[in-house]
Amino acid sequence: MTTFVLVHGAFHGAWCWYKLATLLEARGHSVIAIDLPGHGRNRVSAPPPTLQGYVDHVTDLLRGAAEPVVLVGHSMGGAVITGAAEAAPEKVSKLVYLAASLGPSGRAIVEDPPASPAGDGFMPVMENAVDAFYHDCPAEDAMLARLCLTPQARAPLMARVVWTKERWGQVPSAYIGCTLDRVLTIADQRERAGSFPGMQWVELESGHSPFFSMPERLTETLADLAR
């Protein structure tokens, strides 16, 4: 069976994968859901989180794995798994981008994220977050997110994501597009994935958070891609 390493997006934590992790493990797979520094239970006070710190956190885990893993990144987590695969391509059997950040080498995740005090993170307006992230999700999952979301540091969003064809480019990859996404439009997602010939493409009729809205379908999709 496969080991899946799940990397969340901005504001989120390992908690957002609770449905998906349960279903994957029920199929006999192993699942490692990561809390990036400053998120979930991995709270940090100083220095503020950086994209390199996110990447190093994931890479350290990969290098300790007995066998190559399927590395899944949601939203901002796409940039993190790109960096981790660039650092340790031999430890990744497949990259899966889930409505995720992906682009040319040297591009930042967000060119101009919202302003915040130095060293502090910023939070989304909750009403806007629910409408953007969870509009097609069960109400209890939207409430869980409202209770668990954490501030997002600006620095990781502004850092340049660097990859090479010789390292990241040698790892098989797939992109799962979400047709009802209100954060990244499906046209944007298709353009991102289409920039990389050979990248597998799968669509789900879901908003930005299919781990809440259609966990069974997402489980099947990941299991199929892992084969």
Catalytic residues, which ones?
75, 181, 208
160 alpha-carbon distance from chain centroid: 17
Q: Where are any strands of DSSP class E within 112-195?
A: 121-122, 152-153, 160-161, 173-178
> Whose CA is closest to 209, among 98, 112, 114?
98
Place of tokens 């998906």: 20
Alpha helix ranges (H) inside 35-174: 51-63, 77-87, 126-133, 139-148, 155-158
What's the Rg (C-alpha) of the chain? 16
